[in-house]
Each structure stands twice: as structure tokens, then as C-alpha cells.
Structure 1
Amino acid sequence: MAQKKKGTKKVTRPSSSSSKFAFWIIGLIAIAIIGFIFLANNQKSDDTAKEEIDYANQPFLGEESAPVSIVEFGDYKCPNCKNFADNVVPLVVKEFVDTGKAKFYYFHYPFINVDSERTAKFSEAVYHELGNDKFWEFHELIYDKQPEDTRYEKVDVFTEDFLTETLEEIANKEEVNKVVAYFDTKAPEDAWKSDEALGGKLGVSGTPTVFVNGKRFDGQTMEDLNKLVEEAAKEKGNE
């Protein structure tokens, strides 16, 4: 997990026809990645403690009726978040989202540099102006474009021009103009800052950090995550 360095929303999903056995075989490949991400999280949560999360007006994958809400706090310039987006999120979608067990949300927690904040603000503008589907297209494209140079943290890469050109790959001129105009207002900045403030209250200290129905995930494998999702679904059924 990238550690914090300063104190300061439905898309076409992959087919779920493959067997659960195949999923877990693939899952074994991701275990090392998941372990690396979450072992780096030194602030363990109280297993019995939960925090209220407002999911309204947040981008998500899945059916609104799904009983469990999985939340990722992420930063578009965080390399661990890219690993998570590339290797873990597809498994989460296959096992939990496509089966109707859960919805998957993305909340912004930008902290690496000004690029992080600018991209969070721009993606909020995309979500507000173009909707949930286009947000996820943009979200995936940005992670695809995350630079590999290990020195990138100190360099401005995700400039406004770059973000606009990236959006032009998936949106028409009118849509792009709407997003850029909204980006120039204070509203999308307030939106990502609201995410960041929530993360602070929840004890997020780095990215990616995951919560399941408000309970922080501190496990290391997909099996651990499956267990937490199943527990959350049972608890939801008892409400």
C-alpha cells in the first residue's frame, strides 16, 4: 500500500459463466498482490467497529439492490492502486458484482502529488456530467495510462490537457466541453475532498484501502475478502 505522505459512478461487466473453481485458480495468482497491498497496512481496525458511509452520488459497479457494498479508497497515481485495479478488481467484479452479492464503489483519496488531486477532481467532473458508465471508462483508462517511471510521483503527468485528451478517447466534443467547464468550478473539488475527509474519519492512511459494509478489510487473500462479504450479507439479511 502506498502510504500517505501529507496531512493535509454501471458499465458492461465481464461474463460470469466461468466456474467458481476457475475463479479461485485465477485468484491464487492475485494472492501475492493482495497480500502485498494489505500487509503494508499497519493500522489494523477493530473487527467489531463499523463506520457509516454515505454511498449516495458515488460511482459504483453492480446492481443497486446488492446487499453488500465494497469500497475502495484510491489514488490514480498510486502504483499499488493500479495493481489493484488491474489484478484484483476484475476478480471482485467476477465473484461479487456479477453474482449480485455486492456493489463496488470507488472513493477518492488523493495524496501523492498535485496530479492525484487534479485527476480526482477531473474524474468527479466526468461522473457528474457524463454519468456512471463513462466514469468507469475514464477510471480504467487513467490507470492504464499511469506511468511506469518510478520517478513519476514528483512529476506532473496528469495535467489538465492530458486529462482532457484522455477523455476525448471515449467522449465526443460536446461531452468533453461539458466536463471541462464543470472541472473549472469548485464543485468537483468539494466532491473529492468529501471523499478524502471520510477516509480520514475511517482511519485511511494509504491506498488502496477497502471497506465492506463499513468494516475495514485487513485480510490478505480473496478467501479472506469472500468471508467478510459473506458475513456482511448475513448481517444485512438480519436487519
Structure 2
Amino acid sequence: MSNKNNKKQKQSSAFTFWIIGLVAVIIIGFIFLANGKKEDTAAYEIDYEAQPYVGDESAPVKIVEFGDYKCPVCKTFEENFFPSIKSELVDTGKAQFYFMNYSFINVDSTRSAKFAESVYQELGNETFWKFHELLFSKQPDDHKYEKEDIFTDDFLEKTLKEIANEADVKKVVASFKAGKSEEHWNKDMKTAEELAVSGTPSLFVNGQKFEGNTIDDLKKMVDEAAKGK
């Protein structure tokens, strides 16, 4: 089987049902249940330094999402599931949420991840999350685009211009072209490899992989992690 087929297979791993408001939303291929599960349930010591986050640093639990900006399931996660995490776990002070890159679909995945890292490094945490959300919102609904290069340098620059002034955009572009985000992206990819991440989105709670099916499962895992279980 080709590498391309393997990637497609990983991305379409079975996921589950989420209820958003009063509407039942079916998220197919939700890769919280990504294949290649680790048998070892011991928590992994993740290095959170210099990683974009939302939430109070004093929160007792840290949640990490490994994602790919080219992944349609990650877009679904961002739009339909992350708001629940933020309102029920982050805003309540129960958990701090981090995003790390696992870029595996194609060259766009790597390019957009490194550009987003440059946004974080040059413009800070708040602007990063604005760009993060905007970039997912611009992901085409037609999944055939996965084979195409659409997150070009020009596209990423124009996207950033929607939320940043000209001087800041130039600063980010210069940093990106100089390869200053390479080390940070490599760190994310190495962490993903050590955690045996095989698809996106994948969540970890205090260094332990989330294997549940619902938001309630995640809330339970966060509560248990807070108690040191």
C-alpha cells in the first residue's frame, strides 16, 4: 500500500458523535480513536514550553491537540468541538489547552504549520489563535483539494493581512522565509512521533492519550487527571 493510501486511511479512522447545542452533529473519522494506539497507558512528559495555548497557566490539567491545518476532520474539531472544550474546561479553569503540529497530509500541511509557528513567535499567543481559527475557516469544503497546494506562501500572507497590520505581516513573512520556525515545528513532530500519534486530531490529557468517545468522556478524564488518578 502506498504512503498516500496510508495517510488517507489514517485520516478516515473511525470517530464518534457530538451534540452541539440542540443539533446532533455526526463527526465521521474523528481521530481521537486514531489507529496505532499505545498499549502503555503511562503519562508522557510533554514539554509545553513555547507552545501556543489558551487558558490559565495555573490550571491543574493540560490538554494538547495534535492537528494538521490541511485535515478536514481538524476543521470539524475546531468549529464544532473545541468551543465546548473552551467553555466547559478552559474557561472554567479546569484545563489549559495547547496546540501542536502533526503535519502529515502534504506540503501544505508543513508550510502552513511553519507559517503559523512564525505568527506565534513574532506576534504572540493572541494573534496566533486568531490566525489559527481563520486558517481553518478558509479550508475548502471540497476534500479533493487535499491533493492540491492551496496554502501557498501568498495565500498565508494574505490570510494574515486580515488580522495584522502591514509591518507585522512583513515581520512574520521574513521570519518564515528565514526558517526560524523550523526548530519549533521539528519539536512538535518529534513529540508526536514519541507519542505514537498516527492521525489528527489527537488529544492528550496531562501526557496521556484520550481514548474516549464524547465530551463527557473528556471531562471525566480531565477530572481524574486533576485528582492525580
TM-score (norm 2): 0.88
SS in 2 for 1:73: strand
For residues 40 and 233 of structure 1, the distance between their equivalents in structure 2, rounded to whole angstroms, comes to 23
Distance of aligned partners of 1:55 and 1:27 in 2 relative to their CA distance in 1, 3 Å threshold:
farther
Does the CA-based 8 Å contact 1:164-1:176 persist in structure 2? yes
SS, match of residue 153 in structure 1: helix
* Secondary structure of the corresponding residue to residue 44 of structure 2: coil
Superposition deviation, residue 162 in structure 1: 0.4
Query: For residue 29 of structure 1, what is the amino acid of its counterpart?
Result: A
In the aligned structure 2, how far is the partner of 1:39 from the partner of 1:97? 19
- RMSD of Structure 2 on Structure 1 (CA): 2.3
Q: Which runs of 5+ in 1 are unaligned?
A: 7-23
Distance, in Å, in 2 between the alignment partners of 1:28 and 1:227 is 23
Asked if 1:227 is matched to 2:220, the reply is: yes
Question: Given residue 49 of structure 2, which amino acid in structure 1 is its aligned partner?
Answer: A
Give the match for residue 29 of structure 1: 24
My pick for the range that moved more, 217-226 or 181-190, is: 181-190
Do 1:115 and 1:157's aligned partners in 2 also have CA atoms closer than 8 Å? yes
- Residue 82 of structure 1 contacts residue 143 of structure 1 at CA under 8 Å; is this kept in 2? yes
Instruction: Quote how far apart the aligned CAs of 1:186 are.
Output: 2.3
SS of the residue corresponding to residue 220 of structure 2 reads helix
Per-residue deviation, residues 43-92 of structure 1 (Å, max 9, x unmatched):
23346311110000000010111110000000000000000000110000
- Aligned-residue offset at 1:28: 7.8
Kindly tell me: are residues 114 and 191 of structure 1, through their superposed partners in 2, closer, same or farther at Cα, counting changes over 3 Å?
Answer: same
Contact conserved, 1:4 with 1:112, CA < 8 A, in 2? no
In structure 2, what is the equivalent of residue 5 of structure 1? 7
Tell me the secondary structure at the aligned position of residue 164 of structure 2. coil
TM-aligned CA deviation for residue 36 of structure 1: 4.0
Identity, in percent, stands at: 55
1:158 counterpart = 2:151: yes
Amino acid of the structure 2 residue aligned with 1:37: F
1:13 match: none
- Cα distance in 2 between the residues matched to 1:208 and 1:165: 26
Partner residue in 2 for 1:15: none
Could you tell me whether the CA contact under 8 Å between 2:72 and 2:143 is conserved in 1? no
How far 1:193 moved relative to its partner?
A: 1.6
Secondary structure of the residue that 2:142 maps to in structure 1?
Answer: coil
Q: Distance in 2 between matches of 1:39 and 1:217?
A: 7
Taking structure 1 as reference, are residues 224 and 27 closer, same or farther at Cα in structure 2, changes over 3 Å only?
Answer: farther
Alpha-carbon displacement from aligned partner over 1:93-141 (angstroms, at most 9, x marks no partner): 0000000000110000111111110000000000000000000000000
Residue 97 of structure 2 corresponds to residue 104 of structure 1? yes
Rounded Cα–Cα distance in structure 2 between residues aligned with 1:128 and 1:146? 23
1-side partners of 2:147 and 2:87: how far apart?
35
* Matched-pair contact (CA < 8 Å) for 2:32–2:210: no
1:124 maps to a residue whose letter is E
The structural deviation recorded for 1:147 is: 1.1
TM-score w.r.t. the length of structure 1 is 0.85
In structure 1, distance between residues paired with 2:132 and 2:36:
27
- Provide the residue aligned with 1:179 in structure 2: 172
Q: CA deviation at 1:41?
A: 1.6
Counterpart for residue 12 of structure 1:
none
